[in-house]
């Protein structure tokens, strides 16, 4: 039990909010079996925390499959009146709000790769010319809190069809300008409310909410919604994600 | 009350299915509550946090892994227990008849320091407590499903007052279950011979009554 924790990867240095950061940083493996677990596992070989970890990861993978089965591609997330929009809408990232990156709109280009027919990069002007829709939906954070916001952008399905993405592929992955990365299942990518978002509350997406562009999915937890997207790729190889690789459930559907 | 026959010596007090479900439930509830506290701490609903050392999982992701693994154990075991209780007649025999009058009468006894207890026969307060904790367990599962799937199960979530309502139902149902467990364990410590039948199924040989 008193094993020396492996050297934590640098990515662990940041967690969803500052508060949690203080509480939980460095505790990941060291305390992954704490008092409660010890009490529960009395009699078992508690030195083998790795075995417990393996079971938990396997269960998380199992829950990915269950959630994919539960996912109804045509079931819409509830929508709300604009009066319900949270003000101010919470900021959340794997770094603090003072570390939000500034992106130069003129130099920005969205890269496409993987199983996509037309991989030509997109400028912001070209992206803004796409047909756009708005949604007022609830953003649910993996931490538990939720907030209602208004997002405007192009339905992601429309964009994927436009660039000739292989819609039968398994995953869509995202690499972001702030170093974040994540990936989603194709069924969710094609959901009618999954949106490549350019505006929040009728204004150009502010830096803290992901300028110039984020992916908005009311059918997934907040951390699955990448901000500052630099590259979109379509693949059949499981791409994982920044938080997902550290133990957060990959599917994380709502 | 006294017209209910006490269990004859050596009669089965807790059927095997109930004993197995009980001890699996101890493990499942412990994991769910301790990991749930850690999840709560990530975004507290109320102005307090659970002491991190009392929680399970080490950090939010670890706690979520425990919670969403043990939920299968809790639900499978809970389903087996409830189906057995309903269809074997176990609930009917153990928890009924039960009237408000009997509950109030027993509560008055309790306030006067009199606790009626015979192994194998639940007094009206015990009956109502066990029924309530079963209902709390059902509320925990339904509110938990609403928090997990507020879109796919939005009709269920709406019954809970939406996503935010479901969080509160989940919290208070947890508090109820934890309160039950505390009283339950204190009662067993006060009357230790009640512990034996939960292992063996039978009353201990000595001190029969």
Q: How many contacts does A have with B, using Cβ atoms within 8 A?
A: 120
- Tell whether B132 and B144 lie within a shared domain: yes
Phi-psi bin for A12: left (phi > 0), alpha (psi -120 to 50), beta?
alpha
Contacts of B74 in chain A (CB under 8 A): none
Top pLDDT among A140 and B93 is at: A140
Q: Which domain holds residue B39?
A: 12-94
Distance CA B176, CA A240 (A): 38
A146 sits in which H/E element: strand A146-155
Relative to beta strand A109-114, strand A229-235 is: parallel
Domain-embedded: residue A184: yes
Single out the residue in B32, B65, B94 at which a domain terminates.
Answer: B94
B-chain residue closest to A17, CA distance: B42
CA–chain centroid gap for A244, Å, is: 9
Domain-embedded: residue B32: yes
Q: Residue B43: is its pLDDT beyond 50?
A: yes
Residue A165 Cα, gap to closest chain B Cα (Å): 26
- Tell whether B88 and B129 lie within a shared domain: no
Domain-embedded: residue B7: no
Mean pLDDT, range B72-88, rounded to an integer = 96
Q: Which domain holds residue A38?
A: 10-70
Single out the residue in A47, A70, A93 at which a domain terminates.
Answer: A70
- Tell whether A144 and A238 lie within a shared domain: yes
3-class secondary structure, A233? strand
- Tell whether B119 and B168 lie within a shared domain: yes
Contacts of B144 in chain A (CB under 8 A): none
Domain-embedded: residue A253: no
Q: Which residue in A153, A146, A154, A164 sits closest to A220, CA to CA?
A: A146
B-chain residue closest to A20, CA distance: B42
Beta-bridge partners for A197: A153, A214
Domain-embedded: residue A117: yes
- Asked if A143 and B66 come within 8 Å (Cβ–Cβ), the reply is no
- Tell whether B43 and B141 lie within a shared domain: no
Domain-embedded: residue B140: yes
- Tell whether A117 and A207 lie within a shared domain: yes
Distance CA B167, CA B111 (A): 34
3-class secondary structure, A172? strand
Q: CATH no. for residue A108?
A: 3.90.420.10
What ipTM does this complex have?
A: 0.89
Per-residue pLDDT of chain A (254 residues; tens, 9 = 90+): 333 444 444 343 444 454 444 444 444 444 455 555 555 555 555 557 889 999 999 999 999 999 999 999 999 999 999 999 999 999 999 999 999 999 999 999 999 999 999 999 999 999 999 999 999 999 999 999 999 999 999 999 999 999 999 999 999 999 999 999 999 999 999 999 999 999 999 999 999 999 999 999 999 999 999 999 999 999 999 999 999 999 999 999 99
Distance CA A105, CA A103 (A): 6
Distance CA A10, CA A31 (A): 18
What pLDDT shows up at residue B115?
75
Single out the residue in A19, A41, A70 at which a domain terminates.
Answer: A70
Domain-embedded: residue B5: no
3-class secondary structure, A196? strand
In whole numbers, what is the pLDDT of chain B averaged over residues? 90
Distance CA B78, CA B129 (A): 17
How many structural domains is chain A composed of?
Answer: 2
Single out the residue in B94, B122, B153 at which a domain terminates.
Answer: B94
Domain-embedded: residue A16: yes
Distance CA A238, CA A27 (A): 28
Residue A176 Cα, gap to closest chain B Cα (Å): 22
- Tell whether B42 and B129 lie within a shared domain: no
How many structural domains is chain B composed of?
Answer: 2
- Tell whether A117 and A184 lie within a shared domain: yes
CB A112 within 8 A of CB A119: yes
- Tell whether A23 and A133 lie within a shared domain: no
- Tell whether A145 and A219 lie within a shared domain: yes
Percent of the residues in chain A that have a pLDDT greater than 90, as a whole number: 80
Domain-embedded: residue B79: yes
Q: Which residue in B13, B5, B30, B61 sits closest to B178, CA to CA?
A: B30
Nearest by CB to A75, which of B69, B152, B163?
A: B152
Domain-embedded: residue B4: no
pLDDT tens column, A40-91: 555 555 557 889 999 999 999 999 999 999 999 999 999 999 999 999 999 9
Domain-embedded: residue A77: no
Return the biggest CA–CA distance within chain B. 57
CB B90 within 8 A of CB B15: yes
What pLDDT shows up at residue A50?
87
Contacts of A26 in chain B (CB under 8 A): none
Can you give the C-alpha Rg of chain A in angstroms? 19
Beta-bridge partners for A176: A229
- Tell whether B81 and B108 lie within a shared domain: no
- Tell whether B101 and B200 lie within a shared domain: yes
Beta-bridge partners for A216: A195
3-class secondary structure, B5? coil
Domain-embedded: residue A233: yes
Distance CA B77, CA B73 (A): 6
């Amino acid at each position: 039990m008193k094993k020396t924790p492996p050297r934590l990867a640098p990515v662990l240095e940041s967690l969803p909010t500052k508060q949690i950061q203080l509480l939980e940083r460095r505790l990941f493996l060291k305390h992954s079996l704490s008092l409660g677990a010890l009490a529960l596992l009395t009699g078992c070989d508690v030195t083998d925390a790795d075995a417990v970890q393996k079971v938990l990861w396997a269960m998380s993978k199992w829950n990915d499959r269950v959630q994919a089965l539960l996912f109804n591609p045509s079931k819409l997330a509830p929508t709300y009146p604009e009066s319900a929009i949270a003000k101010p809408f919470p900021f959340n990232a794997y770094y603090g709000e003072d570390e939000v990156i500034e992106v130069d709109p003129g130099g920005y280009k969205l890269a496409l790769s993987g199983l996509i027919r037309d991989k030509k990069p997109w400028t912001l002007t070209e992206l803004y010319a796409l047909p756009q829709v708005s949604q007022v939906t609830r953003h649910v954070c993996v931490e538990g809190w939720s907030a209602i916001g208004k997002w405007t952008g192009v339905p992601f399905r429309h964009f994927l069809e436009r660039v000739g993405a292989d819609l039968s592929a398994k995953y869509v992955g995202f690499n972001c300008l702030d170093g974040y990365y994540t990936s989603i299942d194709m069924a969710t990518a094609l959901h009618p409310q999954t949106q490549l978002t350019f505006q929040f509350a009728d204004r150009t997406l502010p830096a803290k909410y992901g300028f110039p562009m984020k992916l908005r999915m009311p059918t997934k937890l907040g951390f699955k919604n990448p901000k500052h997207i630099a590259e979109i790729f379509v693949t059949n190889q499981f791409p994982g994600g920044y938080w997902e690789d550290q133990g957060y459930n990959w599917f994380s559907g709502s | 009350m006294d017209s209910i026959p006490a269990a004859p010596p050596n009669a089965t007090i807790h059927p095997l299915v109930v004993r197995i479900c009980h001890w699996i439930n101890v493990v499942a509830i412990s994991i769910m509550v301790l990991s749930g506290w850690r999840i709560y701490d990530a975004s507290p609903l109320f102005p307090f946090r659970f002491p991190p050392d009392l929680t399970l999982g080490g950090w939010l992701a670890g706690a979520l892994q425990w919670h969403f693994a043990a939920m299968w154990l809790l639900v499978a075991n809970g389903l087996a227990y409830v189906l057995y209780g309903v269809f074997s007649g176990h609930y009917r025999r153990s928890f009924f008849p039960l009237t408000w009058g009997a509950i109030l009468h027993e509560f008055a006894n309790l306030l006067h320091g009199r606790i009626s207890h015979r192994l194998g026969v639940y007094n009206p307060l015990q009956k109502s407590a066990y029924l309530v904790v079963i209902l709390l367990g059902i509320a925990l599962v339904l509110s938990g499903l609403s928090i997990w799937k507020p879109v796919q199960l939005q009709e269920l979530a709406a019954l809970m007052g939406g996503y935010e309502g479901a969080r509160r139902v989940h919290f208070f149902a947890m508090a109820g279950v934890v309160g039950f467990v505390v009283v339950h364990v204190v009662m067993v410590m006060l009357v230790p011979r009640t512990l034996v039948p939960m292992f063996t199924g039978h009353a201990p040989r000595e001190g029969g009554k």
